[in-house]
Amino acid sequence: MNQGISSSTAQAQMNPAPSHLSHGGPDALGIPPHDFSTNANACGPCPPVLQALQQASVHTYPDPACTAVRQRLGRWHGVDAARIVIGASASELIFRLTAALGMIGQGRQAGAGVPSAHDPLPVRAGLPLAGASPLPPPVVWVPRHAYGDYARAAHAHGLPVRVWDTVRDTPQEAADSSRSGASCPLQLLWATEPSSPLGHTPEGLADAVHTRSSHARQTATVLQGVPGDSPPLWVLDRAYAPLRLSGTDPFTPAALDVVWQLFSPNKALGMTGVRGAWLVAPAACLNDSGSLQAELFGRLQALAPSWPLGAHGEAMLMAWPEPAVQQWLALSLDTLRDWKARLEEGLRRRGWTVLPSVSTFCCARPPRSALEAALSMMRPSDMPTPAADRFTPANQVPDTRGSSTPFGHAMRDAHTPGERTQLALLAMLRQQGIKLRDATSFGLPGWFRLGVRPPESQQALWRALEG
C-alpha cells in the first residue's frame, strides 16, 4: 500500500443510488476558473479535434453501427473492427457491461440460456441440471481506491461487490470450487492503469494479466455443465494510459488480447464535455462462439442503444488516431511534466503530503494548519452540503477477506472535527474560484486529488492557501 493510506478491511450494506455524487468539474456554482478537480489535459482542447467537431455534420443521424469509427479504431489497435464496441461514454459502457454480466448470471440461475442478438447461442448444456445446487450471482471485483461507477453499476444490478488492494487479494474461488465440485460464480474484475486517484500501476496487476494470457492460450473459458473453472473476466480501464508522464505500458499485446480494454480519450484531449468511448473485446469473442466472452459480447451488442454516439462524439473518436492529434498529445505531455513538477513542489513546500503518481494528477493531504485556517475563515452558513456519496465511498463495499465490521464510520455525522475542516478548505477555495477533488468518495478520507493545471492556476491556489 502507499504511505499514509490505511489498508483496513471494511464492509458496508448496499445503499440506494445517491441523488448526487462526487465528481470533478463544474458544480452548482458553475465552471471553476481554476479547476484542479478534473483530470482533463490542461493543455486542451486539442486544436485538430476541435476543428473536427466544428465540421461535424449535425443535420443528420450518425451511422448507428458506427462502421467507420470501428474500422478506424480497429486499425489503430491492430485488431478486427468487429472487436470494437462503441459507447456513449466510459460510464455508459461500465453500466452496460455490468448489466450484460448480470443477465448472463440470471440465465444461468434460471437454468436456461437466453440467446443474444449478436450471436444467438443455443440453450447451453452447461447450465444447472435438475436438482443441482443454485448458482450464486456474478461477483464484481473493484479496486479499493477507484472510480465509483464500477461499484455503483454492480449495486444497480443487484450484484455482490468485493474489494481488492492487490490482484493477489482476489480469491481462487473458481479453482477451489472446481476441486470441491461446488458451484462457482461468474466474476468480473475491474482495474485501472494508471489507476485513479493514485496514478500508479496496481501491485501485481501486470503479472496477473500476463498469467491470465498464458492460461487463456491453454484453456477456453466456456460455460460448463457443472461449473468448474470461471476465472474473472478482466476489464482494464485505460482512460489515463495516454496521460502517462513516466514509465511505460506494462502490458504486452498478447496479454491485452485476452482482456477487455476500455478507452475514453476526452480526458487526454482536454475536452471532457464531449462524450464517447469504446471497448476492445478479447479475441475469444470472435474466435470461440461458445465462450463466456462471446456470450458477454453478444449481450453488450443487444443492450446498445440505436445510436450510441452523437455527431460530436463520433468526430472525436474518428480524430483520435490522426497523426496530428497524437503529435499534439505527445507535445502536451512535455508541458504537463513541467507543470506537475511545479505543482508537487509547491504543495510540499506548504506542508502537504504528496503521493507519487505517473500520471497528470496526484493525491495530496494538507497539513492540519491549512485545514484549521480554512475553518476559521468560514461562517456556518457557508459550509457546503456534502455530496451523497462523500461519506459512503462507492468502492467501500462488502469484503470477504476476514472483516465483519460494518463500514459504519463512513455514515458518521458530516460535522465531526476532521470532516468539518476538510469541507471548510474545499468551500474556502471554491469561493475563490478554485476547486479540488475530495478523495473521500475514492475511499481516501482526508486526501485530495489534484489534476495538473497551468502556472497561473497554481499561483491562484498558492495565494488562497497563504491568505
Q: Name the domain boundary from 276, 292, 321.
A: 321
Would 423 be classed as within a structural domain? yes
By the 10 Å C-beta count (0-12 exposed, 13-18 middle, 19+ buried), 266 is classed as buried
The pTM assigned to this predicted structure is 0.83
The pLDDT, as a whole number, for residue 204 is: 78
Helix (H, G, I), strand (E, B) or coil at 86: strand
The pLDDT, as a whole number, for residue 123 is: 36
Q: Name the domain boundary from 321, 346, 366.
A: 321
Would 274 be classed as within a structural domain? yes
Do 313 and 363 fall into the same domain? no
Do 265 and 199 fall into the same domain? yes
CB atoms within 10 A of CB 24: 20
Do 333 and 295 fall into the same domain? no
Would 290 be classed as within a structural domain? yes
Q: Name the domain boundary from 298, 321, 344.
A: 321
The pLDDT, as a whole number, for residue 108 is: 77
Residue 86 near residue 278, CB atoms below 8 Å: yes
Do 311 and 333 fall into the same domain? no
The pLDDT, as a whole number, for residue 376 is: 85
The pLDDT, as a whole number, for residue 377 is: 83
Buried b (16+ CB within 10 A) or exposed e, 277-312: bbbbbbbbbbeeeebbbbbbbbbbbbebeebbbbbb
The pLDDT, as a whole number, for residue 169 is: 61
Buried b (16+ CB within 10 A) or exposed e, 315-336: bbbbbbebeebbebbeebbeeb
Would 26 be classed as within a structural domain? no
Would 196 be classed as within a structural domain? yes
Question: What is the domain extent for residue 456?
Answer: 34-39+324-466
Do 216 and 293 fall into the same domain? yes
The pLDDT, as a whole number, for residue 429 is: 96
State the DSSP H helix or E strand holding residue 262, giving kind and residue range, or none if neither.
Answer: strand 260-263
Would 7 be classed as within a structural domain? no
Would 375 be classed as within a structural domain? yes
Which residues does the chain have with pLDDT short of 50?
1-20, 112-130, 171-182, 217-229, 388-415
- The grid coordinates of residue 395 equal 468502492
Do 279 and 339 fall into the same domain? no
